[in-house]
Structure 1
Amino acid sequence: MNTQRRRVIRTLTTRTTVAAAALVIAVVLTACTSSPPSTPVASSAPSADAAQPKLKPLDKAALTSTFEKLAKELGQPGAALLIRTPQGEFTATYGVTRPGGSTPVSVDDHIRVGSNTKTWTGTVILQLVQEGKISLDDPVSKFRADVPNGENITIEQMLMMRSGLANYTETFALNAALDAEPQRVWQPEELVAMGLALPPDFKPGTQYHYSNTNTILLGLIAEKLDGKPLAQIFTDRLFAPLGLTETSFPAIGDSSLPAPYSDGYYWWTNVNTLASSKLPPDLLAKVNAGTFLPTDGTLDNPSWAWSAGSGISTIGDLAKWVEALGGKSGNLLEPQMQKARMSSPIATSDNPDAPKYGWNLGQFGQFYGHTGELPGFNSFMGYDPEADVTLVVWANLAPAADGQGPATSIARKLIKEMYE
């Protein structure tokens, strides 16, 4: 960490984009699918740094056409889009809420937002930092004695996915359990135990690896420090102040979705897509022939993702949230903390086109936000603070048969068309 950033952190904790052609949506931050995205593990969207691209005049017809074309090519039953710029706002929907169904997708539909939930957890931790209840430099051992090498793992490293803690959602055991008993209720401590039982991926602070174990631990620490269940913390600190009336964090025993909602489907099984989300050639041929059908994951219990990915929202609420996350509104954080968070994303690999990641915040070129995926649902939310542009996309068959995150793929193409 450089001296200037460390000074900002200490100050805060001692008190009570890219040219459009360079954008690449990389699956490394999406959400509770693995890397590459399959089913239960976390991943994500666009990418790099250069001169700030210039926003084109908003062409709603062309952008809607691109959105619909890609949704169809990616085999999506349904998808939704929201774009907001200084030139105006528009939404678009495609298809139906389930394969072969007749209910059209609506912008009011609720979906599971996967790893976008991490931005809620990270924001609460930063608010607790402001209140002097925790420091970014604190070792996790201060709050959890059971974390191996916890005295050398900081809260900041966990927010940045640089702790070295292994990702429990990449395990065969979890994926097999999800296939065998999709309605199983998982306790957060069970998830932590799975992650901590695995060998560490690397020495803390030396590398990047997206691990949901980090965010489950942060959710438990937030509950301990705030003295409330995480759902109440999110409501009190985030949802109510921002008026996110269609956003919720379900109880671990609740697998329902508020009406109206879109169903969510995924291909094959969690175990079979653990190594790669892309279907093998024989199954791809059957998909194209219509003889291999996707799995309904709509009401599978999402408790296995908890503070890392079990949130529910709508496209409109996601737009409000990502704008607040990017500092446009809401005053979620004090100005100095907000500035520090926006500067926190750093490279996730040597690839200059890879997205950056910071304090539970992704940077995809000029956009700040996150992506999310649970089996059946994929979403992208991004805000460009320089151009004041908001982009949210979701799709309801994820991952696509070719392994792509459908919403992130659509977002990448739309961004290329929106900027010069």
Structure 2
Amino acid sequence: MRRTPSRRLFAAVLLVASVLTPTMATSATAATDAATPATAVHLQGADRHDHDDCPSGGLGRGLNARLDKAVADVRREAGIPGVAVGLWMPGKGCYVRATGVADKATRQPMSTDFYSRIGSETKTFTVTALLKLVDDGRIRLDDPISRYVHGVPNGRRITLRHLAEMRSGLFPYSSDPDFVHDLLSEPTRTFTPPELLAYGFKHRNTSAPGKVFVYNNSNLVLLGLVIEKVTGHHVADVIDRRVLRPAHLDHTLFPDGPSVREFPEPHARGYTNQTLSGAVEDSTDWNPSWGWSAGAMISNMHDLHRWAKIVATGTLLSPETQKQRLKTLPTGFPGLGYGLGIFESGGWIGHNGSIPGYESVTVYLPAQKATLVVLLNTDITSAGQEPSSLVARAITEIVTPDNVYDRPVPLR
């Protein structure tokens, strides 16, 4: 049985990820409270030890002020309601701030201890679970998907590796107009994995396997089914038992089954314009089942701080398997390499997530053993760019100018 946090539950695409088509994203129009000051909010109780290495002065008055201004400028220009940022740089200090509002109606302030939907950061957990099966000798990355899932177009030539590195050649279900219409017409409905895949499988494949990078949630839904086929257990249970528990991530969950629409408290309200009318709506209670093993998970800053280093350094995997995971290939986007469910941008390793109403970035910079976590309560793009990328770029331009995180084009 999957465990759930002691507090009440709910739910959750990236990089790269909102699952919906790029044409549905427009400039931010939501009104925000630009006057809301940035505040340092530290986690209490069991979470507090995560900040023990952060001096009271953070990164120093001057640097703190520059970061405060950079985040405030991006939030104002991109129309972001609220943002929480955690930056940890061993030997130098840390910067933990929340600014803006979590709820535009009540004006409740944003906080660093909120749960948040993490969209396609889910992929790092799903692929970790898959790679643990590789280490167990139960599967091989070069196995064809047809060995585990029937009915996949060209499945005898598409390998698990192709799926994890986004080079399967399959058509993404989230780019299908019928899927977009069905989701936005009834955002609280529950989708099953076969239903999701059917939207994509009715289209011709976009390329031969292994040839072209196309960010594709169909790939990760298939890998979720592989995990279930091999283990005989729900993918949510496998991730909980094989990944979350060993990593001591007590505030991270994969909502599945009857509680799929639950969202732990406290959390911010989420705002999106990925709607049939294009108007901004509150998407907090939308059902994330359409993201499943590609984007349904929830976490908080404390756990993501911990997870960033674990996933980037391969703590849960054998060195050889981690080496394969981090072997990034060109994506066609400048400065972005993609490995097995993980990317590298400007030296930063990790993933980002975007789902209607929420965005996140969780990355680790090995050269400085630095970690950056960004959580937002909107996915509304600004000048064609994801707001989480704008925040992460502004921060890294200041603190690691030789290693700037940059997502110039949303991969959805």
TM-score, scaled to structure 1: 0.80
1:417 to 395, 398, 402: 398
User: How do 1:341-356 and structure 2 match up within 5 A?
Assistant: 341-342=325-326, 344-349=327-332, 351=333, 353-356=334-337
Give the letter for the 2:89 counterpart.
Answer: T
Deviation at 1:100, TM superposition (A): 3.5
Q: Distance in 1 between matches of 2:362 and 2:14?
A: 15
Post-superposition Cα deviations, 1:263-300, rounded to whole Å, max 9, x if no partner, equal 1111251x566xxxxxxxxxxxxxxxxxxx62010000
1:167 to 168, 172, 187: 172
Give the letter for the 2:381 counterpart.
Answer: A
User: 2:39 — aligned with what?
Assistant: none
Post-superposition Cα deviations, 1:208-246, rounded to whole Å, max 9, x if no partner, equal 111110000000110111121111111111111111111
User: How do 1:116-155 and structure 2 match up within 5 A?
Assistant: 116-155=121-160
Deviation at 1:37, TM superposition (A): 7.3
Contact 2:324 2:340 in 1 (8 A): no
Q: Distance in 2 between matches of 1:36 and 1:346?
A: 23
2:256 to 247, 251, 262: 251
Unaligned runs of 5+ in 2: 1-12, 26-58, 402-412
Give the letter for the 1:377 counterpart.
Answer: Y
The answer to whether structure 1 residue 321 and structure 2 residue 307 are counterparts is: yes
1:74 to 74, 78, 83: 78
The answer to whether structure 1 residue 176 and structure 2 residue 181 are counterparts is: yes
Give the letter for the 1:136 counterpart.
Answer: L
Q: Distance in 2 between matches of 1:157 and 1:326?
A: 20
Q: Distance in 2 between matches of 1:372 and 1:121?
A: 14
1:60 to 64, 68, 82: 64
Contact 2:121 2:352 in 1 (8 A): yes
User: 2:280 — aligned with what?
Assistant: 294
- State the secondary structure of the residue aligned to 1:157: helix
Give the letter for the 2:374 counterpart.
Answer: V
Deviation at 1:28, TM superposition (A): 7.4
Deviation at 1:370, TM superposition (A): 0.6
Give the letter for the 2:125 counterpart.
Answer: W
Q: Distance in 2 between matches of 1:29 and 1:219?
A: 19
- State the secondary structure of the residue aligned to 2:373: strand
Please, what is the CA RMSD of the aligned residues? 1.9
Deviation at 1:354, TM superposition (A): 3.7
Q: Distance in 2 between matches of 1:190 and 1:32?
A: 18
User: 1:11 — aligned with what?
Assistant: none
Contact 1:373 1:398 in 2 (8 A): yes
Give the letter for the 1:257 counterpart.
Answer: F
User: How do 1:363-374 and structure 2 match up within 5 A?
Assistant: 363-374=344-355
Q: Distance in 2 between matches of 1:217 and 1:408?
A: 27
Deviation at 1:98, TM superposition (A): 2.0
Contact 1:379 1:394 in 2 (8 A): yes
Deviation at 1:322, TM superposition (A): 1.3
User: 1:332 — aligned with what?
Assistant: 316
Query: Structure 1 residues 112 and 256, CA, compared in 2 at 3 Å: closer, same or farther?
Result: same
Quick one: percent identity of the two aligned structures? 35
User: 1:358 — aligned with what?
Assistant: 339
Query: Structure 1 residues 110 and 195, CA, compared in 2 at 3 Å: closer, same or farther?
Result: same
The answer to whether structure 1 residue 396 and structure 2 residue 377 are counterparts is: yes
User: 2:199 — aligned with what?
Assistant: 194
Deviation at 1:34, TM superposition (A): 4.3
Deviation at 1:101, TM superposition (A): 2.6
Q: Distance in 2 between matches of 1:215 and 1:268?
A: 22
Query: Structure 1 residues 37 and 374, CA, compared in 2 at 3 Å: closer, same or farther?
Result: farther
User: 2:242 — aligned with what?
Assistant: 237
The answer to whether structure 1 residue 29 and structure 2 residue 15 are counterparts is: yes
Post-superposition Cα deviations, 1:2-57, rounded to whole Å, max 9, x if no partner, equal xxxxxxxxxxxxxxxxxxxxxxxxx9732232463746xxxxxxxxxxxxxxxxx7
Give the letter for the 1:414 counterpart.
Answer: I
Give the letter for the 2:95 counterpart.
Answer: F
- State the secondary structure of the residue aligned to 1:151: coil
User: 2:366 — aligned with what?
Assistant: 385
Contact 1:32 1:305 in 2 (8 A): no
Post-superposition Cα deviations, 1:362-395, rounded to whole Å, max 9, x if no partner, equal 1111000011000111111110111111011111
Contact 1:252 1:303 in 2 (8 A): no
Deviation at 1:60, TM superposition (A): 2.1
Give the letter for the 1:32 counterpart.
Answer: S
Q: Distance in 2 between matches of 1:376 and 1:252?
A: 22
Give the letter for the 2:390 counterpart.
Answer: S
TM-score, scaled to structure 2: 0.82
Give the letter for the 1:64 counterpart.
Answer: D
- State the secondary structure of the residue aligned to 2:18: coil
Deviation at 1:102, TM superposition (A): 2.1
Query: Structure 1 residues 29 and 272, CA, compared in 2 at 3 Å: closer, same or farther?
Result: farther
The answer to whether structure 1 residue 220 and structure 2 residue 214 are counterparts is: no
User: 1:262 — aligned with what?
Assistant: 268
Q: Which moved more, 1:363-372 or 1:89-98?
A: 89-98
Give the letter for the 2:330 counterpart.
Answer: A
Query: Structure 1 residues 38 and 84, CA, compared in 2 at 3 Å: closer, same or farther?
Result: farther
Post-superposition Cα deviations, 1:93-137, rounded to whole Å, max 9, x if no partner, equal 011112243211111111110000011111111111111111011
Q: Which moved more, 1:153-162 or 1:315-324?
A: 315-324
User: 2:356 — aligned with what?
Assistant: 375
Unaligned runs of 5+ in 1: 1-26, 40-56, 274-292
Query: Structure 1 residues 37 and 29, CA, compared in 2 at 3 Å: closer, same or farther?
Result: farther
Deviation at 1:162, TM superposition (A): 0.3
